[in-house]
Structure 1
Amino acid sequence: MNRLALKCGLTAAAGVLTAVPFAAGAVYQSVLTRRDERELPGLGELVDVDGRRVHVRRMGEPADGPTVVFESGLSSPLEMWSWVQAAVAEAAPTISYDRAGIGRSDAGPQPRTAARIRGEFERLLEVLDVRGPLVLVGHSYGGMLLRAFAQEHPDRVAGVVLVDAAHPEQLERSARQRLGLPLMRASVRSSRFWSRFGRNRLRGVGDDSQLTGLAELELKTTVARMMTTRNWAASEAEIEAWLAHVVDEIRTTTLPAGVPLFVVTAEETEKADPVHGELQRELAALSPVSVQQTVPGASHLGMLCSAGPAKSVAAAVLEVVDAARTGRAVKPVEFEPPGDQP
Structure 2
Amino acid sequence: MHIALGVAAFAALLVLAGIVYERLGQYRAARDFPPSGTMVDIGGRRIQLDCRGSGSPTVVFEAGLSVEGSLSWSAVQPRIAAHTRACAYSRAGLMWSDSSSAPHSAKQVAQDLRAALAKAGERGPFVLVGQSIGALYAMGFTRQFGPEVAGLVFVDPSHPEQVERVAGFMTESRSMLSRVGVALAWTGVLRAAAPVLLPRPPQRTARDAQAMQAVWAYAPKSLATQLAESDSTDSTLAESRDFRDLGSRPLVVLTAMAPYTDAELRGMKITPEQGTQVQAIWKQLHEEQATWSSRSTHRVLPSSGHNIQLEDPDAVVEAVLSVVRAVRAGGPAGSP
| TM-score (structure 1 length as normaliser) | 0.83
Per-residue deviation at 1:144?
A: 1.1
Identity %: 29
For the residue of structure 2 that corresponds to 1:276, the secondary structure is helix
Deviation sequence 1:14-39 (CA, Å, 0-9, x none): 22223333332232222123112211
SS class of match (1:83): coil
Counterpart of 2:44 in structure 1 is 51
1:202-246 deviations in Å (ceiling 9; x for gaps): 445369946333533344334433543221222222222322x32
* Pair 1:235 & 2:226 matched: yes
Q: Distance in 2 between matches of 1:45 and 1:177?
A: 44
| Maintained 8 Å contact 1:213/1:305 | no
Structure 2 residues not aligned, in runs of 5+: 262-274, 332-336
* Residue 115 (1) aligns with residue 118 (2): no
Of the structure 1 ranges 232-241 and 162-171, higher mean CA displacement relative to structure 2 is found in 232-241
Contact 2:191 2:219 (C-alpha < 8 Å) held by counterparts:
no
User: For residues 133 and 203 of structure 1, do their structure 2 counterparts lie closer, same or farther at Cα, with a shift above 3 Å needed?
Assistant: same
Aligned to 1:327: 330
- Letter of the structure 2 residue corresponding to residue 241 of structure 1: S
Find the aligned partners of 2:322 and 2:249 in 1 and give their Cα distance.
Answer: 13
Please tell me whether the aligned partners of residues 194 and 219 of structure 2 are also in contact (alpha carbons under 8 angstroms).
no
The equivalent of 1:189 in structure 2 is 179
**Contact 1:67–1:95, Cα closer than 8 Å, also in 2:** yes
Alignment-derived partner of residue 250 in structure 1: 240
CA apart distance, 1:249: 1.1
Which residue of structure 1 aligns with residue 284 of structure 2?
A: 278
Q: Distance in 1 between matches of 2:259 and 2:117?
A: 32
Secondary structure in 2 aligned to 1:261?
strand
- Aligned letter for 2:325? D
1:340 maps to what in 2? Answer: none
Q: Partners of 1:201 and 1:297 in 2: how far apart? A: 33
Structure 2 residue identity aligned to 1:46: M
Question: 1: CA distance between counterparts of 2:120 and 2:322?
Answer: 25
Q: CA deviation at 1:110?
A: 2.1
Aligned to 2:210: 220
2:316 aligned partner: 313
1:156 is the counterpart of 2:148 = yes
What is the match of residue 146 of structure 1? Answer: 138
Give the C-alpha shift of residue 122 in structure 1.
1.7
Q: Give the CA RMSD over aligned residues.
A: 2.6
Q: Are 1:295 and 2:301 counterparts?
A: yes
Match of 1:20 in 2: 13
Moved more, 267-276 or 152-161: 267-276
Structure 2 distance, partners of 1:152, 1:34, is: 38
Given that 2:49 and 2:116 are in contact with CA atoms closer than 8 Å, whether structure 1 keeps it comes out as no
Residue 132 of structure 1 is matched in structure 2 by 124
Q: Secondary structure at the match of 1:181?
A: coil
Shift of the 278–16 alpha-carbon distance from structure 1 to 2, 3 Å rule, reads: farther
Report the 3-state secondary structure (helix = DSSP H, G, I; strand = E; otherwise coil) of the residue aligned with 1:153: helix
CA 1:269–1:85 in structure 2 vs 1: closer, same or farther (change >3 Å)?
farther
Return the alpha-carbon distance in structure 2 between the equivalents of residues 177 and 96 of structure 1: 35
Q: How many residues align?
A: 313
Conservation of the 8 A alpha-carbon contact between 1:144 and 1:165: yes
Determine the C-alpha separation between the residues in 2 that align with 1:300 and 1:145: 17
Deviations 1:85-122 (A, max 9, x none): 01111111011111111110001122111111211122
Q: What is the match of residue 60 of structure 2?
A: 69
Q: Secondary structure at the match of 1:196?
A: helix
Counterpart among 98, 106, 109 of residue 106 in structure 1: 98
Change (3 A) 1:298 1:19: farther
**Aligned-partner Cα distance in 2 for 1:135–1:189:** 35
CA distance in 1, matches of 2:260, 2:147: 33
CA shift in 2, pair 1:300/1:215, >3 Å = farther
Q: Which SS does the other structure have where 1:229 is aligned?
A: helix
Tell me what 1:304 maps to: 309
Letter in 2 for 1:44: G
Structure 1 residue aligned with 2:270? none
For 2:158, the equivalent position in structure 1 comes to 166
